[in-house]
Amino acid sequence: MKLVSPGEAAANTNDIPAEAGEEFVRIGEMAKKYGVTLRTLRFYEDKGLLNPHRDGSTRLYTRRDKARLKLILLGRKVGFSLRDVKQMMDLYDPTGTNTKQLRLALDKSEKQLARLQKQRALIDDAIGELSNSMSVVRQMLVERTAPAQASAAG
């Protein structure tokens, strides 16, 4: 039983109580696997979004932590704040139907969707204005570069 996959040439290959196929990963592996920094993982933990096990002081991440991290990253991708993500995750109850959690998620999602659409509209607007300005500037440059042609062409 290795820490990760058999081919992983990790520097530190501690023996870890790996019972029943549990795979523990240390922070470095975890970070690489999900493209985040160590700081980020510690930050998320500090904010109560992750709760890795410990071997002494060393963090050990399990499948559960990976699932949670995936959710966090998805949440961030769609624009939720970490607070929102935490709020939703905190409602998770492995013994129930999680109806409340789902409803909250849906509610927040609707609001976020609205925000995203608003942002999109703003950006479209900005693109429009910027394009206009660029045309104007280009025209001004033309007039300055070939002033003799300007009126002659008209």
Partner DNA sequence: TATAGGATTGACGTAAACGTAAAAGGTGCG
Partner DNA sequence: CGCACCTTTTACGTTTACGTCAATCCTATA
Write the CA distances from 38 to 22, 32, 35, 48, 130, integer angstroms.
Answer: 22, 9, 10, 16, 39
Return the residues of window 42-71 that contact a copy of itself according to CB under 8 A: none
Which of 1, 8, 17, 37 touches DNA (CB under 7 A)? 37
Both structure tokens of 15: 């023996």
Query: Is residue 60 classed as helix, strand or coil in its secondary structure?
Result: strand
Phi, psi of 132 (to 5 degrees): -55, -55
Interaction between residue 150 and a copy of itself (CB under 8 A) = no
Which of 33, 63, 70, 83 touches DNA (CB under 7 A)? 83
Of residues 11 and 152, the one with the C-beta less far from DNA: 11
Interaction between residue 119 and DNA (CB under 7 A) = no
Question: Can you tell me the distance from the alpha carbon of 39 to that of 116, in angstroms, rounded to the nearest whole number?
Answer: 28
**Amino acid at residue number 148:** A
Which of 90, 120, 146, 149 touches a copy of itself (CB under 8 A)? 120
User: If contact means CB under 5 to 8 A according to the sort of partner, which of DNA, a copy of itself, none does residue 91 touch?
Assistant: none
Which of 141, 146, 149, 150 touches a copy of itself (CB under 8 A)? 141
Which of 117, 146, 149, 150 touches a copy of itself (CB under 8 A)? 117
Both structure tokens of 63: 């499948």
